[in-house]
Structure 1
Amino acid sequence: MRMNRRPLIWFAICYVGGSAAAAGLSSRGVMLAAGAAALLALAAVLCRQASWQLAAACVVAVGLAAGERMWADARNVTALPALLAAAEADGPRAAYAAEAVGTIVSAMEVDGDRVMFRVAADRVHVEGEAAPRELRERLLVHIRLAEQPEQAVAAQWRRGDRVRVAGELTLPAGATNSGGFDYRRYLSSQRIHWLLKAKGTAAVSPAPGPIWSAAALLGRVDSARAWLGARMDILYPSTQSGYMKGLVLGIREDLDPGQFQQFSRLGLTHILAISGLHVAVFIYALGGLLRFVRLTRERILLILILSVPLYVLLSGASPSVMRAGLMAVLGLFAARIGKLKDGLHLLAAAAVLMLAFDPFFIENVSFQLSFIVTIGLITGVPPIRKAMPQWRRGKALLDLAAVTIVAQLVSFPVTIYYFNQFHALSLLANFVLVPFISFVVMPLGAISLVIAIPWEAGGKILAYASHYANDWTFVFVERLSKVDSLRTIWASPPLWWVAAWLTLLGISFYLIGCLTEQANAWQLKAASAADETVPLGTESLLLTPLGAAADDAVSLPRSRGLRISLLSLGFIAVMLLVYAYKPDLLDRRAAVSILDVGQGDSIHIRTPQGKHILIDGGGTLSFRKPGEEWRERSDPFEVGQKVVVPLLMKRGVREIDLLVISHLDSDHIRGLQAVLDTIPVRSIWWNGTIKDAEDARKLLARAVDLDIQLYAAKAGMEHRLDQETVLKVLWPVPATTEAVPVLENQNESSVVLTVQLYESTFLFTGDINSKTEQSIMNHEQQKGGNSLPSSGSISVMKISHHGSRYSTGEEWLKYWNPLSAVASAGASNSYGHPHPDVLSRLAQAETGVWRTDRDGEVRFMVTESGLFMQ
């Protein structure tokens, strides 16, 4: 019975499967999954692949894991259900004055003018209620600082302190764009359902909490990490300290965002996260030191067992380092009692223990990547390495190549599912940098930190050696990451595709192992035959053992079958890659998406032939005054980098055929900087003016640097992007001079155009007001043009200027007679957009209205038969 050889592994597989089913399926789906598991277990028993005891244990594992997750989901609800219902009814602007009392249960994050920490509240008083409520509610607290000295005040707060916070309770934002980041779901997986926003440190009243509570003990760990991080700031220059803190201590808050982006492009972010390799280096170094002082094996193992959890805590206790630490402790304990088995058993035990501790771990990307890659390395490296040449001199390089290749193959589907990009130079970067950083830079950093504790000058001397290593690393990463021709963008594949790829790899590793074993057996047989004395003459053929000839006769067809199977798997892999890279290859539907970018505009259009148009890119406005540089955050929210680019990449936009910049106001263009830096753009239409603003100058200069063709859009321009897609520019009118004018007030010079997809027409209006609307109508009537479709009305109009009161006039609506209209406005904008007068005029015109502030992303699908909402 094959399955009985590894009972723990099968139990863990079933446990993870049950937890995943409960996390992703409805109650009925979980019951069906459990039933399917029971049938598979019965089949395994009937086919004599497993004993009935193991089959029963596997079914129990599915039930236990699913039941635990469903029980956790049922308990993972707010203790303020009435307030939640009111907030959902009031919409995204809902905020309720409240005061919470509880214990700080996270490290303090002080970043610019914002402080964040988590509170386990035991009392909440909402304004309007008679008395405070005694309850248990986790809150994420946001403090907006008013003055720079408040940063030092907030930095004194510690995990474990008791606090009273007065502010406003709000709901976390959900995903308002299809496929966008769902902050509410993310916080819910950490059992947080409310944000408590306050202004200034005066809103927080801290007091010491119990000194022996779990939070207080972890607070001391936070202080130790902060103290060690401060030592790193002394040992390394500002350009390197954040990198070294992430590498050695797992403190990633101070890592330069641009530097992180370069590592991310090459698939190197795992180096910056404490993981199994870091734990292995820690155990190796500490074990070597303990052997040097001649401790016994038993004492060394005991010290290592006690030391690994401390290292896990000091390095931040992320899921990846928890997995590695737990595997290490289990392995060391098993070695101490003489029961150590292979790595898969340790991994299985770690998975079950972690999910039993917190079933929400299964949704964590770090958890998923850590376990998937570790399984791949354990099962894939041995057969791949045996299939490679067995050189003596280059053994270490071949071992490293096997590990790198397997890690890349196994992590590839998860990487493109979550991060939507893969760089062809990632293999080279990992091959060179992983050993260099892991066995040179990281040990140097750790040892210099340890030495600097009693002897700062000595630590600086050793750290100085790694300065050059870091400089070389940064130059190497920067140059490789800039080879954009080898960087590919992938749409997020379906989950079945990820599972199919990993299954394909598992089967391939098994077949490669079988082929290698067979080849090695033949080589041994040939070697033994060559060592024997062979009689001269043809009669020697008769002396060949009949058994050996029979074995060869059987092995040859088996070898052929294995090779054919591998070739078939290779063909399937190619088909999977083609599907993942071009999932919409045969899709002839057009799509128009008015993205929710807050108070701004960004529209993505996919044509029937698979070309892409982007109109504007949104922009996060900054109201910082001179002298308030301290308010700047290390990685400030920028809508292009955080919203527009991830959405485009998730949808497989590898190239933008046409970028239309309606005008140069910040809420339309700031997000485009990230677009130009990430996604190739073939050509740009803009309104033909210049604005004396930093973001406008920077954007146009970046376009010129990238050698993108820029065209001044003028009324009368018409362009057929493909057979079913026609663009017509209605405004602005051609300038009378050849010089490019400088224009500070850009609204009335917005590019206004129609886009016809099949028989449906969309009107995009920028930020024009009613005066310009009249001018456009006059211009169209004077030239005798007819921009209307044959039906006499357009399909969808993007409402001018986010629904400003003085836009979208009655005559404008009568002229275009739109069937539907969309207002792109921020959910919490202070302008009152869209204005009630505009909504009233649209209602009188019997035009259907969609709003990004209320409805999120508005997406239309267009086919030959018509238009429909998705």
Structure 2
Amino acid sequence: MILIRARVEAVLEPGRRTEVRVPVLLIASDRRWLELLPSQRARLKGRFGTPRSADLLAAVVVVRGPPSVLGPPSPLQRAAETVRARLRRSVDRLPADQRGVLPGMVVGDTSRIDPDLAEVFRTAGLTHLLVVSGANLAIVIGAVLGLCRFAGLGRRRAPPVAVLAVLAFVVVARPEPSVLRATVMGLIGLLALFTGRRRQGLPALAAAVLLLVLIDPTLARSYGFALSVLATGGLLVLAPPWRERLRRRLPGPLADALAVAAAAQVAVAPVLVMLSGEVGVVSVAANLLAAPAVAPATLLGALGAVTALVSLTLARLVVWPAGLAVAWVVWIARTAARLPYATIPWKGGGLGAVALLAAAVVAVLILRSRRLRLVAVAAMAGVLIAVVGLRLLAPGWPPPGWALVACDVGQGDALALAAGPGRAVVVDTGPDPRLVEGCLERLAIRDVPLLVLTHPHADHVDGVAGVRSHRAVHAVLTTPRGPGREARFTSGLVVRQALTGQRWSVGDLTLSVLGPLSAGPRLAPGDDGTTVNDASVVLVARRPGFSALLAGDVEADAQRALAGSVPAVQVIKVPHHGSRSQDPAFLAAAHASVALISVGRDNDYGHPAPSTVDRLRSLGSRVHRTDQEGDVAVVRTTGGLSVVPRR
């Protein structure tokens, strides 16, 4: 699945052309869309839908087929893509982690970063290093001004050179919200330097924010923009006094680095907890340890990108030490992410942000009172002892006796049903082979007697290669409405069509097919998303002490047709990632005590819909989500079912 931000300039209908100029989100599956560059114009066919997120979008468009390109990109964008491509070629001989991370640190190109590594950076609180931000721009401006000073350019002539370097950098890195904010602020600072006036950080930040929001009002609702502004504000307001206090007890460079890392993390914490429902515990230490390597990696990477335009051989020599700096950052990220409780759960949303601010106020009061400090130390010691004890006694992953695991594969579905030692029936595979393969590796699955592909959407079938990697797949079950895109992933396998009423048995696990109803139409290449979703294979899985309804992506119409045949079960895999298109009678008929929602973090669809989550809870179901809990295991116990999240 490919998500593209675009601007629609004309909508063509039979006998009518409407001129518009509005932002939209394109959802495409053809990889030829990835070949387009900013400024290119293309014609497409698709189904327009109403946006469900808070973004200022006119529509969400489900695209059919490849783009019909109407013209080349602008010369400026062609030049920028040349720089990015040459940088990618210059790092080709570096180890995989280094060649994925270095372009991200230099120009924000994350196309080669392994999703597992990206998750490691997120857990360690180092995600900001994988996108271009004010830190990158500050490094570039500082380096250019230093070179100008070395070349003998005065105060009047150096800033214009730096401005040109900044503009070139922004074009290559693409104007993301954080880059725009940093660019405008940097240009305001250079103007102050050029005119000889005293530079003031907060006025420059305020001017940058005001100017950017006036130019592009959508930034007012951009969490990335908010995080960037808050981090900069923390550096301007919190870091200086903290630096002065730390210098009384620590060496100057260490005090500076610690104050900067802590100030930025504290400033962005309320917004981060709103988004993720987690509080990073190790992020300050990870940023402190990674900081010395960031500037060398960025500068040498940028120098390598420029050198690659002249000589690829010389550029590879330049980026080699940059790769060593990146290796240090990656090692810090992996080490920090492996620590127990690198992140701790916290209430998400606005209430969670307010609770975190209240906790910060309490922490300040404790630090100011000796008596409260003693009480806090005693309480923390007790909690630490309890946590260590629980950690030693708690089972590892996967938990013994697991019956079902919802794998965290981002915005998609992948389920594993235990079918004996080292064996599992797999239902859907998610969009990325690496993610589902990692989940099955953690479960020690080596044999897949049956692979069920509920319907031919990328977020359910594109990970098939990950299931087939290093394990045997004996048979594949697909929707009878096909064939679809799953056919290209299942070559060489025995493929069967699911028929209503059909039963499959694997050991003590039985699977009964409820849908799709055989009377439905067959899928055609032009069918829209709803038609394909309603063609999903719907299963009831049973084994002693366990039952589950696995509903694919069926939407309200198909759910209504199936509601009368839904039996009471213990677990329901909520259809279509918890979207709003749910039939209340279908959900109620299951009587499930556990509701699993397989969904991607920060997805653009608004999944799961709050109304769906509220309805499930009103029906008495405990809701568990992969975007918040990672892999989720349902375990059979003597007292019934228990749910164990991997996070």
Cα offset for 1:313? 2.8
Cα offset for 1:300? 1.5
2:47 is paired with a residue whose SS is strand
Q: Deviations over 1:593-614 (max 9, x none)?
A: xxxxxxxxxxxxxxxxxx9x99
1:232 to 87, 95, 103: 87
Q: What is aligned with 1:337?
A: 195
Distance 2:507 2:620 in 1: 24
Question: Map of 1:208-223 to 2, 5 A cutoff?
Answer: 219-223=74-78
2:512 alignment partner AA: I
* Larger of the two Rg values belongs to structure: 1
Question: Map of 1:596-745 to 2, 5 A cutoff?
Answer: 616-617=404-405, 640-642=409-411, 661=418, 664-667=424-427, 691=449
Are positions 1:474 and 2:330 aligned together?
Answer: yes
- Evaluate the alpha carbon distance shift between residue 446 and residue 489 of structure 1 in structure 2; reply closer, same or farther with a 3 A threshold: same
Are positions 1:125 and 2:12 aligned together?
Answer: yes
Q: What is aligned with 1:824?
A: 551
Asked whether the 8 Å contact 2:107–2:131 carries over to 1, the reply is no
Q: Scaled by the length of structure 1, what TM-score is found?
A: 0.48
1:487 to 322, 342, 367: 342
Q: What is aligned with 2:142?
A: 284
2:409 is paired with a residue whose SS is helix
- Evaluate the alpha carbon distance shift between residue 665 and residue 132 of structure 1 in structure 2; reply closer, same or farther with a 3 A threshold: farther
Question: Map of 1:47-446 to 2, 5 A cutoff?
Answer: 116=4, 118-122=6-10, 124-126=11-13, 129-141=14-26, 144-145=29-30, 151=32, 155=35, 158-165=37-44, 167-171=45-49, 184-186=51-53, 189-200=55-66, 204-207=68-71, 219-237=74-92, 239=96, 240-390=98-248, 394-422=251-279, 424-438=281-295, 440-446=296-302
Q: What is aligned with 1:16?
A: none
- Evaluate the alpha carbon distance shift between residue 422 and residue 750 of structure 1 in structure 2; reply closer, same or farther with a 3 A threshold: farther
Asked whether the 8 Å contact 1:670–1:695 carries over to 2, the reply is no
- Evaluate the alpha carbon distance shift between residue 571 and residue 357 of structure 1 in structure 2; reply closer, same or farther with a 3 A threshold: farther
- Evaluate the alpha carbon distance shift between residue 344 and residue 615 of structure 1 in structure 2; reply closer, same or farther with a 3 A threshold: farther
1:361 alignment partner AA: L
Distance 2:231 2:65 in 1: 44
Alignment RMSD (CA, Å): 5.1
- Evaluate the alpha carbon distance shift between residue 750 and residue 347 of structure 1 in structure 2; reply closer, same or farther with a 3 A threshold: farther
Asked whether the 8 Å contact 1:115–1:143 carries over to 2, the reply is yes
Cα offset for 1:286? 0.4
Q: What is aligned with 1:767?
A: 511
Q: Deviations over 1:140-172 (max 9, x none)?
A: 445554xxxx94x973x554444433x231426
Gaps spanning 5+ residues in structure 1: where?
1-110, 173-183, 209-215, 513-561, 583-610, 620-638, 646-658, 702-743, 753-764, 771-800, 813-820
2:315 to 459, 466, 486: 459
Asked whether the 8 Å contact 2:115–2:435 carries over to 1, the reply is no
1:640 is paired with a residue whose SS is coil
Q: What is aligned with 1:563?
A: 368
Distance 1:432 1:459 in 2: 27
Cα offset for 1:424? 3.8
- Evaluate the alpha carbon distance shift between residue 833 and residue 492 of structure 1 in structure 2; reply closer, same or farther with a 3 A threshold: same
Q: Deviations over 1:20-76 (max 9, x none)?
A: xxxxxxxxxxxxxxxxxxxxxxxxxxxxxxxxxxxxxxxxxxxxxxxxxxxxxxxxx
- Evaluate the alpha carbon distance shift between residue 470 and residue 206 of structure 1 in structure 2; reply closer, same or farther with a 3 A threshold: same
- Evaluate the alpha carbon distance shift between residue 848 and residue 311 of structure 1 in structure 2; reply closer, same or farther with a 3 A threshold: closer
Distance 1:257 1:868 in 2: 31
2:178 is paired with a residue whose SS is helix
Distance 2:337 2:614 in 1: 34
Question: Map of 1:530-545 to 2, 5 A cutoff?
Answer: none
- Evaluate the alpha carbon distance shift between residue 488 and residue 466 of structure 1 in structure 2; reply closer, same or farther with a 3 A threshold: closer
Q: What is aligned with 1:756?
A: none
- Evaluate the alpha carbon distance shift between residue 497 and residue 641 of structure 1 in structure 2; reply closer, same or farther with a 3 A threshold: closer
1:274 is paired with a residue whose SS is coil
Cα offset for 1:380? 1.6
Asked whether the 8 Å contact 1:748–1:768 carries over to 2, the reply is yes
Cα offset for 1:252? 2.0
Asked whether the 8 Å contact 2:304–2:316 carries over to 1, the reply is yes
- Evaluate the alpha carbon distance shift between residue 318 and residue 468 of structure 1 in structure 2; reply closer, same or farther with a 3 A threshold: same
Cα offset for 1:285? 0.6
Cα offset for 1:396? 0.9
- Evaluate the alpha carbon distance shift between residue 491 and residue 371 of structure 1 in structure 2; reply closer, same or farther with a 3 A threshold: same
Gaps spanning 5+ residues in structure 2: where?
388-398, 452-464, 473-495, 515-535, 543-547, 568-583, 589-596, 598-607, 624-647
Q: What is aligned with 1:33?
A: none
- Evaluate the alpha carbon distance shift between residue 643 and residue 668 of structure 1 in structure 2; reply closer, same or farther with a 3 A threshold: closer
Asked whether the 8 Å contact 1:640–1:670 carries over to 2, the reply is yes
Cα offset for 1:447? 1.8
Distance 1:303 1:296 in 2: 11
Distance 2:513 2:277 in 1: 39
